[in-house]
Amino acid sequence: MGEIIAIASQKGGVGKTTTAVNLSAAFAQLGYRTLLIDVDPQGGVAASFGMSRYDIEAGILEIFSENIPIERTIHKTEIENLALIPCNVWSDEEEKRKLIGSAAESKLKSAIRPVVDKYNYLIIDCPPSLGNLTFNALISADSIIAPIQCEYYALKALGRFLKMTRAVKEEHNPSLRYRGFLLTMVDMRNNLTKRVIEKVKYTLKGMVFDTYIPRNVRLAEVPYYGRPVMLFDRFCKGSKSYFDLAKEIIASSEVVRQKEVA
């Protein structure tokens, strides 16, 4: 059975979509079957693969509103082993945004169930809020990756996010766990960055990934090229960091499996 990982944070601009897109691509290029699911109405995943509304026959909108089989919403990408379900709700479609935002909290979980065994990893890109779409993702997920931008305000928002995820675990999804907190937009030349890293590691002992994502212009160019970063600059720092993150997650998965066998 594949692992369902939600990329979640209530704060915008911390690198959720960047992480969802490039981590999924890294998993796929390392040989792991991966499904990327976008529940963020900003539609960053589709843009990151060069898709417009005219390229999408069905997506997350139909899953939430029409009960169509999930297989009809899955789109292939140019990367072998990587498929995606786009969020086909656009910025000018307010009624559709309200429609998917009011869906039952277990809707996504029910939709995903038929295809979980077909993938090694299912990555869900969440919107920058603690609303119903994020709840849908967390109720569906096995684990959470929470990006944290290396700035002071990111620390202030952390407590509320921890409280919310704890409530989801206690009331709806007892098996939910943290895969880890991911430090993003890291610039080690900045003293504030170093202080934030120290504070986060102290506060979240043992839950912070060893891999961090550097501030890298190539990552910001993903929507411009309409391709994950490793497809247009495989050797840049951003690309290397997401391959390192994928390998760190895979290695920890192997440790867990070995313990279960033992």
User: Tens of pLDDT along 50-85?
Assistant: 998 888 989 888 888 887 899 999 999 999 999 999
What is the 8-class DSSP label of residue 151? Answer: S
Q: How far is CA 196 from CA 8, 215, 217, 224, in A?
A: 19, 15, 21, 30
CB 185 within 8 A of CB 15: yes
Alpha-carbon dihedral angle through residues 83, 77, 42, 155, given to the nearest 10 degrees: 70
Percent of the chain with pLDDT over 90: 60
Domain 3-261 falls under CATH 3.30.750.24: no
Determine the pLDDT at residue 95: 56
Distance of CA 142 to the CA centre of its chain: 12
Determine the pLDDT at residue 200: 87
pTM for the whole structure: 0.92
Phi, psi of 102 (to 5 degrees): -105, 10
| Length of the chain (residues) | 262
Integer Rg of the chain from CA: 17
Quickly state the pLDDT bin for 193 (edges 50, 70, 90): confident
